[in-house]
Structure 1
C-alpha cells in the first residue's frame, strides 16, 4: 500500500473520528462506531476511497 493520506489530512481524520465517537457516546448511539474508520485511515496513512479518484494528499519527492 502506497500512502495517500498526508499530514494535515491525517490530523483532520483523527480529530473527526474522535468527535464522531464522542458524539455517538453522548447521544448513546451505535453510529459513533463509524468514527473508527477515519481514525484507522489516518493512522495507516491510506484511504481506499482515494484510489478510484486518484487523490493523494501526501507530499511527493522528485527523487522517486
Structure 2
C-alpha cells in the first residue's frame, strides 16, 4: 500500500503546485503551503485528513467517482 499512498500524496503535492493531474477521487485537494514556505525551501506535508479525503473507502464510493 505504500506505493499507492505515495501516489496519493504526490498527486496532492502536484495539485498544490498547480501542476495538472488526471481526474481522480481527490481532484482539487491541496496542502497548506505558501510562497514564503517555498522561499524557505520548506517541504510540503500532506495532513492525514487531507490524504484521507483523496481515498476511496468502499466499492460504492468508488463507483460514484
Q: Tell me which interval the TM-score lies in, with the shorter structure as reference length.
A: 0.3 to 0.5
Structure with max Cα Rg: 1
Q: What TM-score, normalized to structure 2?
A: 0.37
Structure richer in helix, relative to its length: 1
Q: What TM-score, normalized to structure 1?
A: 0.38
